[in-house]
Chain A
Amino acid sequence: MNLQNILNELEVVDGELAGRMAHVSRRGLFSSLTRKTIAAAAPMVMASALTSAYGQGSGLPSNVVDVLNFALLLEYAESDFYNRGATSGLMVPMENREMFAQIRKHENAHVRLLRSVLGSQAIAMPRFDFTAGGAFPDVFSNFQTYAAVSQAFEDTGVRAYKGQAANLRNAPAILEVALNIHSVEARHAARIRQLRGQKGWITDNMASGLPQAIYDGENITHQLGIEVIGLTGKSRAEVTEAFDEILSKDQTLAIAGAFLAK
């Protein structure tokens, strides 16, 4: 494989990645390449840089493999959901098509990236049932239902990534990648919430018709042992909006498990 040719052929994406790559990679790995071509190199280079930091796939600490496979499960669900949404004949309003195309693009990229980092240790994609056993029977024929399930995945994803961050402290380069995914999921969540007529941020633990488990604990008002209400004279609602809360792996799997085909 001629790496340079591939780099030359790929489209320019984002020069910012280069700085990050330089951080996670061995010094000088990219010295002969321009920032733009590095940025264009898609998951392949990212994966090679990460594996160079941790050795081959099997060199990843086992806790990191667990977190990445957990993340991959969520990304599989999201990518499969949006891929089906794009190909199922679902009528998406014209003004929302670019939005969903962008989200779909990101989720597919996240799957590619995580699979490339995990290598042979990546789990296979399970079969999903996005009706959740019949709870959302018209998920791919009714745009309102589709949007609701989209919100469920995005808000859950934000909380799930956040809940695993601490488990990646022994792998700072991978922690950073997880954080770089996490904020993208939050952007998706805010947009889909607005599309559904809600604020982009989560007030209290309001579930807005979605399973309450997705928003359980979002109404916490103390952080680092400090009761935040009263510090600023702001309302309880505003305090809960200002902090997104974590979901544990078990809490997340209980939510996502409803979408696994039985």
Chain B
Amino acid sequence: MEKLNLVSESPSRADGLGRRSFLRYAGGVAVIGSVLASCSAPDEIVSKTPTNDLSKYAGGRISNGITVNLGSGELGILNYAYALEQLEAAYYEMVMRFPYEGMSAMERQIFSDLRAHEQIHRDFFKAALGSAAIPGLTPDFSGINFRQRSVVIDVARQFEDTGVSAYNGAGKFLQTEAYLITAGKIVSVEARHAAVLSELQFPNGNAFAGDTPIDGNGLERSRNPGAVLAIVAPFIQETLTSGLMA
């Protein structure tokens, strides 16, 4: 938690880097206007199609030097889910602790619910894994500007899309009936989250079940653990390893 608080003192590392770049490049007064304009530009771009690229929100890739092994087999999959739920819960804790300006009552309710659901998933996996559980992970949200509504929603939506693809890809590794069913109980809630966030981001269209996560056969994408872990790695200070399928 100390680390989280530390990071949260300056929620946006991107801002910090932006300022340094600004100082480096703004040699003359004449360029200030254009630099400021380009700094504010990303929030102004309105895209109709959700895109998935979390890497642009990667911060300074802070590493605390700790390696966490998720393990292999079914326990490895459960720890993998536990790691993802930890990340999501920590994210929504930040969103609710530093709500962006102008967060509507509806948005506040949604983010409050999402925080609760992910905290519940996190604590459930910890209890279910017992002594096999990995330790608590330390998030790195230093590249995410929590003051900016469009960023907060975009990152949330992409975390949820990623989570759904992770559970979709993990089911085939769960042979124990109760584990498979429980994962199924959670993934559909994550998919509901993804739909609601997509609608928030791109209202009154087809983004809630859009053509990015869903293909022409009406199938939502799956990802294997290795692909998911690569996507989320920039947001976790520990280095995660596993014997799970890449």
- Interface residue ranges, A against B (CB under 8 Å): 11, 13-14, 16-17, 20, 39-40, 42-43, 46, 95-96, 98-99, 101-103, 105-110, 112-113, 158, 161-162, 165-166, 169, 172-173, 175-177, 179-191, 194, 199-201, 223-224, 226, 228, 231-232, 234-235, 238-239, 241-246
Closest residue of chain A to B208 (Cβ to Cβ) is A191
Known: A101-B206, A180-B221. A13 touches B215 (CB 8 A): yes
B121 within 8 A of A: yes
- Residues from chain B with Cβ under 8 Å of A113 in the complex: 217-219
Q: Which of B23-31, B39-47, B180-188, B234-242 contacts A (4 or more CB under 8 A)?
A: B180-188
A selection of 8 A-B contacts at a CB cut-off of 8 Å is A102-B208, A158-B188, A176-B168, A182-B188, A201-B113, A201-B193, A244-B185, A244-B188
Given the contacts A40-B216, A231-B120, A191 and B221 also touching, CB distance less than 8 Å: no
Flag B107-119 by CB within 8 Å of A: 1 or 0 each. 0000001001101
Which of B60-68, B123-131, B135-143 is the interface stretch?
Answer: B123-131
B113 to chain A, nearest CB (A): 7
Collect the chain B residues with CB atoms within 8 Å of residue A165's CB.
171, 180-181, 184
Bound-state Cα–Cα, A14 to B216, Å: 7
Let me know if B172 is at the binding interface, CB within 8 A: yes
A112 to B219: give the CA distance in the assembly, Å: 12
Given contacts A95-B204, A109-B218, contact A243 B192 (CB under 8 A): no
CB distance A187 to B168 under 8 Å?
A: no
Contacts of B123 in A (CB 8 A): 228, 231-232
Contact B209 A187 (CB under 8 A): yes
Could you tell me if B171 and A238 are in contact, using CB atoms closer than 8 angstroms?
Answer: no
A98 touching B205 in the complex, CB below 8 Å, given contacts A106-B214, A176-B169, A228-B120 = yes
Contacts A16-B215, A200-B193, A244-B185: A169 and B117 contacting too (C-beta < 8 A)?
Answer: no
Bound together, the chains give a CA A206 to CA B25 distance in angstroms of 58
Which residue on B lies nearest to A244, using beta carbons?
A: B188
Answer yes or no: B194 CB below 8 A from chain A CBs: yes
Q: A186-B195, A242-B116 are known contacts; what are 16 more A-B pairs with Cβ within 8 Å?
A: A16-B215, A110-B218, A113-B217, A162-B185, A162-B188, A166-B180, A169-B177, A180-B219, A183-B188, A183-B220, A187-B195, A187-B198, A190-B193, A191-B209, A200-B195, A224-B178
